[in-house]
Chain A
Amino acid sequence: MALKKIMHVEDDECIRIIAEMALTEVAGFEVLSCDGGHAALEQVEAFAPDLILLDVMMPKMDGLQTLLELRKIPSIATTPVVFMTAKIQQSEKQQYLDAGAIGVIDKPFEPMQLGDNLRSLYLNAQKS
């Protein structure tokens, strides 16, 4: 199944705008941006994304917690999740992969390649 719908969860508004632009106008996905974990949990079932792009450090509910909550929703239990983080430490990246993410994207990211990267991660995950 091809990647079409992406849910982007990010507390920073600027990044939300840039990512949305990159994913819609550059990569051509359908994107739903949420400003936090709670908003994401509320809208995820209705939007039914093919992939969720999740920021790690967010107030109230961080990326890992959001992932745990998302996995509790049956229809989202297997939806691939990619984390986006400003932390560059390898051990932390590993922590996210262990939590079930299919990939981790470093901040700052290259908006022109963001879509391609997500597509490639998604395809790999599909094969596996």
Chain B
Amino acid sequence: MRFLQRPFFWFCGISVTLIIVLIVALLQVEQQRENMFSAELEHLQRSNTHYLQQIKSQVQQKALTLAELVSANSMIRNRVIESAHIYISAQSEPEKSNQLEAVRQAALPELLLQWDALQADFVKQLHIHLAPDAFTLLRAHKPERHSDQLAAVRPLVMSVLEQGKAFSGLEIGRHGLGVRAVVPVKNNNQKTVGAIEVGLGIKELIAQQQLSLLHQNETNTGVFALFSQEAVTVMFDKQPFNNNSAWVFEKSAEVSRLDWLKPDLLPNNINSPQALRVEQDNQHFLITLVPWHSYKQNTNESAQVVFAVWQDISDLVEQQRRQSIFIWSVWILFALLSSILIAFFARRLQSSTVQTLKAQQHQLRWSEQRLNALFSLSPLPILLNKLADGTFIESNKAMEQLVGYTEDEIKALSYWDLTPERYAEDEQRQLELLNTTGRYGPYRKQYIHKNGHLIDIELNGVLFENPAGEKMIWTIIQDLTQRNQIDKMKDEFISTVSHELRTPLTSISGSLSLILSGATGELNDKSKKMLTIAQRNSQRLNSLVNDLLDIEKLSAGKAHFMPEEADLKIVINEAVEQIKPFANTYQITIKVSYIDAAVVFVDVLRIHQVLTNLLSNAIKFSNTGSQIDVKAEIVGENVCISITDSGVGITEKEINSLFQRFKQLDNSTTKQQGGTGLGLAICREIVHQSGGNIGVESELGKGSRFWFELPLLADSKKVITSEKVLIIEDDADIASTLRAMLEHEGFLTDWAPDSAHAWQLLTQNTYRLITLDLRLQQEHGSDFFFRLRHNLETQNLPVLVISAYLEEGKLQLSAIANAIDWLEKPIEQDKLVEKLSNLLDNTQWQNDARILHVEDDSDIVEIVKIHLQQKCRYYHAKTLNQAQVMLSQYQFDLVLLDIGLPDGSGWELLADLKKLNYDIPVVVFSAQDCSVHQRNKVSASFAKSRVEPKELVERIKNLLN
């Protein structure tokens, strides 16, 4: 999904999302605007409906009020009652007619007065009807027309006469459409005897409303009525003008703007209030329709009449349109701007990506050019080949020169074509190294030159994968031919120089030695003194030659180191012993104050050389009678050996160059002591090549502390750690001190105040050692010791007797004193450590190990026996034959072998051991030096004249372990 990491992708994504959100928002705004517009129209419609309904009820109420006003006139009322009486009680028709005429004439003036008063209210009819059959007594608007019976054609009037209740409503008849109010006239007996009817002209009403609207400056609105075809038929007693049309308009004269309104735009039935939006010639109208129930004059049935209000809403619609246009314009503008911005940023992004890409390509080309130049111009041959089959892929000029092939010829070859067969095994090892660590070398081998000769080379290489996943090896080659030649020349030079220097030195020192020894006759004191000086200086010159050759070898890394596992304590003690005579001449004591148990893997002779060098320096620079302190402490993964003197000290300036060649302290003491100035440089080389470090701390006039660190052999620290010691001591304070001391040395401890507790603990735990106080409370320490030694489990358990009464204990215990040592109270930490490590050292022997010593020299047998018999089971064979017999009959763990035996060579025994399938260590201990070949056949070899018995014993111990 690499495109997800590209900013361009994210940019486009965000842009698209933004546009979608904008569109949704826009639609939402539009919808809201529409809704608001609809709500506005609805509101308008509701208020129009309300307006129309108000007119309707006002008009009806007005008609009723007017009718009641007329009926309330007592004169008119009395004339109605009178005429009603005449009408129903007259004896004859002519009499009736006359009497009625008389009443009519009497009532007319009053009625006309009323009529005139009502004209202002658009009253079109004023009737007086008589019960029971709606006999028309008088029509104020047409006084000449009367005496018609309307029972059949005026159901409205009949219902009022019959029910005695007033009525007001819309009636439709031949006279047109009008609001009629009929009010009953009752006699004194509350019997309806007649009715007053008032009719209002609807056309005028509409005109009046329109007028009032005009007065209110409402020019964009108007009122009109609609009649159904049926109503028109009734009204005009004729067929409608247009059969297709359901409606006929009653429009006021003022309203000419509704000309466009064709009846077919309206619904056929209008039974409830409703609104209509009509668009005509870019004008928008809202028409609110409210139906008004009307009665047909003669049938009392309903015909549809609708009152309507129209409104020109063009402005409103226009406003909406403008708003919409505005919103869309803003959005389109915004969208355009966004698009431009997006395009702009996208372009910038793209161009910056392109620029980055170009820069990267440029860098890449530059880097490739550099590497290519490096590759082709390198004076070192460089090769690229496949791991799978060794085929060469690429090589440089230097490689062609090295092997004599052209580039094309090399590419046709594989690794194996250039490698002599005998390297097959080594190659395999390097391949394994390459596969596990990803690199190989430095690997010295030979290549076969085109002309057949062999070239000494050194290879270093790394493994990597090409883009196709194929494993490749880059190899850099060094031609060692020249270096080997130089090395050889150097070796020859050193060899020659050493010979040429030593030969005259041999003569000089030899002569001096002979003369001084008196071999050539007695010398006088002066001569003797002078010759002694000459001898000392010839010895100094010899040391200088030795040191020079030594440092030369060491610096060139050509000094031969033979590292082995060594107990540092032994190495230090031997060096100290060796230097002691020299120290004694200055009455200087060397105190080995503290040595941690440590095993190192070093060339013992070389470390010995470092120690004696540092010790002799310390002696040289110490004051007569002073003390030199030697310590070895474990610091982390190293052991630090330090030699501290209280001599002249070194200045800070001198310290910095102290380990350089030919640097000697520039003071009189040095000159007196002499020296080659190479000692410390040699020490540094040796320590460095042993994997360690060397340094010095000093204060002028107070002394110096030279130290060097050596890496500890893994696990050597554990020699005396994590082992348990049982402290048997009745004094709690002493026990506590002892505990602290032992725990400081890395031991775990248990404490038993008396022998009973001790036995209990011994049965439960395994201890490495016991410290025993002799004077215990209940049982004497010596008795407890006897019990220990008679118990199978504890008979060899090392015991350190710690007591204030050692002599007494020694007397009691000497008889069975194996694995025992003594320490006097008060306890000193240093001594405790020394005793502990001695005890543990001796008891690290496998006591039941069997050693066969083959040796004819009884003196040597005696010495070795003394050293070994307490530590293991020592057996001795005097001849080869005896050894062969013993080996065939008994099992041994190690053979210590002399070579020159009375009945043959010790080497023959090796063949016998092989025959007997013995796979045990063999240590040669002989007067003869072994050849390398011989030494490889055995575990170790020592020359009798050159080895201390201690060293031999230590080696045997190591081999057995």
Q: Is the CB of B899 within 8 A of A15?
A: no
Q: Of B499, B509, B560, which is within 8 A of A87 by CB?
A: B499
A84-128 contacts to B, CB under 8 A, are 86-91, 94, 97-98, 102-103, 107-112, 120, 124-125, 127-128
Q: Of A21, A57, A91, A120, which is within 8 A of B514 by CB?
A: A21
Q: Is the interface of B mostly helix, strand, loop or mixed?
A: helix
CB of B847 within 8 A of chain A? no
CB of A25 within 8 A of chain B? yes
CB of A9 within 8 A of chain B? no
Bound complex: CA A111 to CA B513 (Å): 7
The residues of A that contact B575 with a CB separation of less than 8 Å are: none
Known contacts being A86-B506, A108-B510, is A125 close to B498, with CB within 8 Å? no
Number of interface residues of A (CB under 8 A): 32
Q: Is the CB of A124 within 8 A of B510?
A: no
CB of A52 within 8 A of chain B? no
The residues of A that contact B926 with a CB separation of less than 8 Å are: 128
Q: Is the CB of B929 within 8 A of A97?
A: yes
The residues of B that contact A125 with a CB separation of less than 8 Å are: 927-928
Known contacts being A112-B514, A128-B927, is A18 close to B900, with CB within 8 Å? no
Q: Of B498, B506, B927, which is within 8 A of A15 by CB?
A: B506
Q: Of B499, B514, B519, B538, which is within 8 A of A86 by CB?
A: B499
CB of A1 within 8 A of chain B? no
| Cβ of B147 to closest chain A Cβ, rounded Å | 173
Q: From A100, which residue of chain B is reached at the shortest CB distance?
A: B931
The residues of B that contact A26 with a CB separation of less than 8 Å are: 514, 517, 519
| Cβ of B130 to closest chain A Cβ, rounded Å | 169
| Cβ of A43 to closest chain B Cβ, rounded Å | 23
CB of B944 within 8 A of chain A? yes
Bound complex: CA A26 to CA B513 (Å): 11
Known contacts being A57-B499, A87-B498, A107-B503, is A18 close to B514, with CB within 8 Å? yes
Known contacts being A124-B928, A124-B945, A127-B857, is A18 close to B506, with CB within 8 Å? yes
CB of A22 within 8 A of chain B? yes
| Cβ of B3 to closest chain A Cβ, rounded Å | 69
The residues of B that contact A70 with a CB separation of less than 8 Å are: none
The residues of A that contact B546 with a CB separation of less than 8 Å are: 88
B932-950 contacts to A, CB under 8 A, are 932-933, 944-945
| Cβ of A89 to closest chain B Cβ, rounded Å | 8
Bound complex: CA A111 to CA B512 (Å): 9
Q: Is the CB of A128 within 8 A of B900?
A: yes
Q: Is the CB of B519 within 8 A of A94?
A: no
CB of B549 within 8 A of chain A? yes
Q: Is the CB of B502 within 8 A of A107?
A: yes
Q: From B930, which residue of chain A is reached at the shortest CB distance?
A: A97
Q: Of B513, B553, B900, B928, which is within 8 A of A110 by CB?
A: B513
CB of B676 within 8 A of chain A? no
Q: Is the CB of A22 within 8 A of B931?
A: no
The residues of B that contact A57 with a CB separation of less than 8 Å are: 499
CB of B818 within 8 A of chain A? no
| Cβ of B912 to closest chain A Cβ, rounded Å | 19
Q: Is the CB of B927 within 8 A of A86?
A: no
CB of B372 within 8 A of chain A? no
| Cβ of B210 to closest chain A Cβ, rounded Å | 140
CB of B511 within 8 A of chain A? yes
Known contacts being A26-B517, A128-B899, A128-B928, is A18 close to B510, with CB within 8 Å? yes
| Cβ of B517 to closest chain A Cβ, rounded Å | 5
Bound complex: CA A98 to CA B929 (Å): 9
CB of A45 within 8 A of chain B? no
Bound complex: CA A14 to CA B509 (Å): 11
The residues of A that contact B931 with a CB separation of less than 8 Å are: 94, 97-98
CB of B833 within 8 A of chain A? no
Q: Is the CB of A94 within 8 A of B932?
A: yes
Q: Is the CB of B499 within 8 A of A111?
A: no
The residues of B that contact A14 with a CB separation of less than 8 Å are: 504, 506-507, 511
Q: From B931, which residue of chain A is reached at the shortest CB distance?
A: A98
Q: Is the CB of B510 within 8 A of A19?
A: yes
Bound complex: CA A25 to CA B520 (Å): 9
The residues of A that contact B509 with a CB separation of less than 8 Å are: 108
Bound complex: CA A102 to CA B60 (Å): 161
| Cβ of B551 to closest chain A Cβ, rounded Å | 13
CB of A42 within 8 A of chain B? no
| Cβ of B351 to closest chain A Cβ, rounded Å | 72
CB of B505 within 8 A of chain A? yes
Bound complex: CA A21 to CA B517 (Å): 12
Q: From B857, which residue of chain A is reached at the shortest CB distance?
A: A127
Contact flags A26-38 to B (C-beta < 8 A → 1, else 0): 1000000000000
Q: From A11, which residue of chain B is reached at the shortest CB distance?
A: B503
The residues of A that contact B369 with a CB separation of less than 8 Å are: none
The residues of B that contact A111 with a CB separation of less than 8 Å are: 510, 513-514, 517, 519
The residues of A that contact B944 with a CB separation of less than 8 Å are: 124
Contact flags B490-533 to A (C-beta < 8 A → 1, else 0): 00000100110111111111110110010110000000000000
Bound complex: CA A102 to CA B542 (Å): 25
Interface centre among A57, A102, A111 (most CB of B within 10 A): A111
Q: From A24, which residue of chain B is reached at the shortest CB distance?
A: B519
Chain B interface (Cβ < 8 Å from any Cβ of A):
495, 498-499, 501-511, 513-514, 517, 519-520, 538, 542, 546, 549, 553, 560, 857, 899-900, 926-929, 931-933, 944-945
The contact sample of 12 A-B pairs, CB cut-off 8 A, is A12-B506, A14-B506, A19-B510, A25-B519, A26-B519, A86-B503, A87-B495, A87-B498, A107-B506, A111-B513, A112-B519, A120-B945
Chain A interface (Cβ < 8 Å from any Cβ of B):
12, 14-15, 18-19, 21-22, 25-26, 57, 86-91, 94, 97-98, 102-103, 107-112, 120, 124-125, 127-128
Q: Which 7 A-B pairs have the closest CB atoms?
A: A128-B900, A124-B927, A14-B507, A86-B502, A18-B510, A108-B506, A98-B931
